Amino acid sequence: MMSELIIKIQERRAKVVVVGQGYVGLPLAMAAVEAGFPVVGLEKSHERVAMLEAGRSYIGDIDNETLRRALRSGYLPTGAIDPCENFDVAVISVPTPLLNGIPDLSFVEDAAATLATVMRTGALVILESTTFPGTTEELVLPLLLEGSGLSRDSILLAYSPERIDPGNRSHGLQSTPKIISGIDEASLLAVEAFFTSLQVATVSVDSCKEAEMAKLLENTFRHVNIALVNELARFAHQLGINIWSVIEAAGSKPFGFMRFSPGPGVGGHCLPVDPSYLAWNVSEKLGETFRFIELANDINDHMPEYVASRLEKMLRRSGKSLRNSEILIL
């Protein structure tokens, strides 16, 4: 027998709340509106809420017309919790930065505690933010139970890591499979129903910890391989070898090789942070050092200095020079 929530999802009667209207949360909110759901976009930034209300998007993947169409369809951006009352599905899409090298889950904690105050029996909460294994069940679940006063078997909780690549026109929310997991079978079925309703393919795993680890593996894989090619680039230069020709030649192999290019370290929202979540978790729970991540961090952290040094030498050879402040900017 299908649950009441799944029926409401299928009939597009489920009230959806997306906490965090950034590069992950806003596209999700727009997809939910387009699928026919009533959607509340909960955002702490008053400036962002004002821009959303005015139909002005600050996210490159969402144009103004898409946002204005959503507003006409009932999308409600807000900084207040009252419009979220008695939600059916809530998705937490908030930042998980590092604070002095330690995972900062304060945004997740705040979102979970806030949702708990307006949570009803049978509602589904989905955590999308990247985090270390155990966060969903050991942090979010207790906050929801404590703040709502509900029992363990009366709420649904899932983890489904975001896979948004800002600016990528080939792979967006609806063209990228979504890993899903739940604290129980009912939660898994509910999160599957929700993302299926958004025309998103799903890949289910057996536990929230597996889904949390899978997201970290994705970004750690990239981080480590970027570090590999960055260090190889430095050695190739010293050996008088053109690294770009090497990468091009290796990339001609149709199997067993994935191309990565050297650069000034790693950037973006995820790679400078996510692998360190995994390294911290391993250190805290196992007392072990994740050597690949530590080594990759060391290599990539020193690449900006290396690139600036190479650039300065090139400019000096050309008869130009850089002030220290300009080198730091580079």
Question: b/e map of 88-120 (b: 16 or more CB within 10 Å)?
Answer: bbbbbbbbbeeeeeebebebbeebbebbbebbe
Q: What is the pLDDT of residue 329?
A: 40
Q: Which residue among 270, 273, 278, 279 is the active-site one?
A: 270
Residue 313: HSE in the Cβ half-sphere, 13 Å Cα cutoff: 6
8 vs 16: CA distance, rounded Å: 11
Whole-angstrom Cα Rg for the chain = 22
Active site residue 208: no
Domain coordinates in residue numbering, the chain: 4-205, 214-329
186 vs 283: CA distance, rounded Å: 33
Contact 142, 109 (CB under 8 A): no
4-205 maps to CATH 3.40.50.720? yes
CATH class of the domain whose range is 214-329: alpha beta
**3-state secondary structure at position 238:** helix
Residue-by-residue pLDDT tens, the chain, 330 positions? 468 999 999 999 999 999 999 999 999 999 999 999 999 999 999 999 999 999 999 999 999 999 999 999 999 999 999 999 999 999 999 999 998 888 999 999 999 999 999 999 999 999 999 999 999 999 999 999 999 999 999 999 999 999 988 888 888 888 999 999 999 999 999 999 999 999 999 999 999 999 999 999 999 999 999 999 999 999 999 999 999 999 999 999 999 999 999 998 777 667 778 888 999 999 999 999 999 999 999 999 899 888 988 888 888 888 765 555 444 443
Contact 143, 113 (CB under 8 A): yes
Contact 26, 55 (CB under 8 A): no
- Rounded to 5°, the CA angle 92-97-101 comes to 145
What's the burial of 137, exposed, middle or buried (CB within 10 Å: 0-12/13-18/19+)?
middle
Q: What is the pLDDT of residue 22?
A: 96
Quick one: tokens of 58?
Answer: 């600050």
Q: Taking the alpha carbons of 224, 226, 227, 233 in that order, is the dihedral positive or negative?
A: positive
* Residue 178, φ and ψ in degrees, nearest 5: -110, 125
> Cα 19 to the chain's mean position, in Å?
13
Q: Taking the alpha carbons of 280, 281, 285, 291 in that order, is the dihedral positive or negative?
A: negative
Residue 19: HSE in the Cβ half-sphere, 13 Å Cα cutoff: 25
